[in-house]
Amino acid sequence: MDRSGHRNILRCLLDLILPRSCVACGAAPTPDTPLCNPCLAELTPALSPDAAGPLRVQALCRHAGPARELVHALKYGGRRDVARFFAARAAAVGMLPAGAVLVPIPLYARRERARGFNQSALLADAIVEAIPGLAVARALARRRPTRSQTQLDRAARQANVAGAFALREVAGAPLAGRHVILVDDVVTTGATLHAAAAALRGVNTAAIGALVAVRAELD
């Protein structure tokens, strides 16, 4: 087993042994959630889906208040309880079509090895566990490392990820004829999701959409 595998096992053991506190404020959390009741009440639903261009993007929350800490804990801490929390919200609102295949946005291989996980894959796996009938296919690879999108404007974001994704062969969950849902942690301009969708254009899917944990506004 490699180093990242050992880190994941240790993280799971710590989750079982050490009680968690609210991700946002440190208070005692509501059972089976990563937030306390007051912070849960502060979560703001995202606005209606973004249908700009060919890709329909749905978000579970706005990137405000406790949602910022939630997605940070998922992205940099690999918190599976946070992934399960978002998955439960997706299940509760019925956002995903029956039989859909979830395709997580990949990290560059070197970054994923260093981090020990891919937060988008954690989210996709949790959603499949929460909603019967779905499947996960790691059908995309990141061809090259890309800069963080955080400090880039809209045009720079598009250039940063243009051509960054490639289709890879997967077993067990073919994409042809299926409704494919790209899964990521955050959407701002949608540049990453649209670049990933472009890599799927050669596949005869029934439709391509996207689901993200939080929607952020471009500063």
pLDDT at 95: 80
pLDDT at 166: 93
What kind of fold does domain 44-215 have according to CATH?
Rossmann fold (3.40.50)
Instruction: Render pLDDT for 112-155 as a digit per residue (tens, 0 to 9).
Output: 999 999 999 999 999 999 999 999 999 999 999 888 888 788 89
Tell me the β-bridge partners of 57: 50, 210
pLDDT mean over 83-88: 96
Instruction: Render pLDDT for 161-171 as a digit per residue (tens, 0 to 9).
Output: 999 999 987 65
The answer on pLDDT for 199 being more than 90 is yes
pLDDT at 145: 87
The answer on pLDDT for 7 being more than 90 is no
Asked if residue 164 lies in contact with residue 143, where contact means CB atoms within 8 angstroms, the answer is yes
pLDDT at 147: 83
Domain boundaries, the chain: 44-215
Asked if residue 138 lies in contact with residue 168, where contact means CB atoms within 8 angstroms, the answer is yes
The answer on pLDDT for 8 being more than 80 is no
pTM of structure: 0.88
pLDDT at 79: 94
Written as one letter, the residue type at 119 is Q
The answer on pLDDT for 19 being more than 90 is no
Buried b (16+ CB within 10 A) or exposed e, 138-154: bbbebeeebeebeebee
Instruction: Render pLDDT for 20-66 as a digit per residue (tens, 0 to 9).
Output: 799 999 999 998 899 999 999 999 988 666 655 578 899 999 999 99
The answer on pLDDT for 196 being more than 90 is yes
Residue 14 buriedness (CB in 10 A; 0-12 / 13-18 / 19+): exposed
The answer on pLDDT for 200 being more than 70 is yes
Instruction: Render pLDDT for 53-76 as a digit per residue (tens, 0 to 9).
Output: 578 899 999 999 999 999 999 999
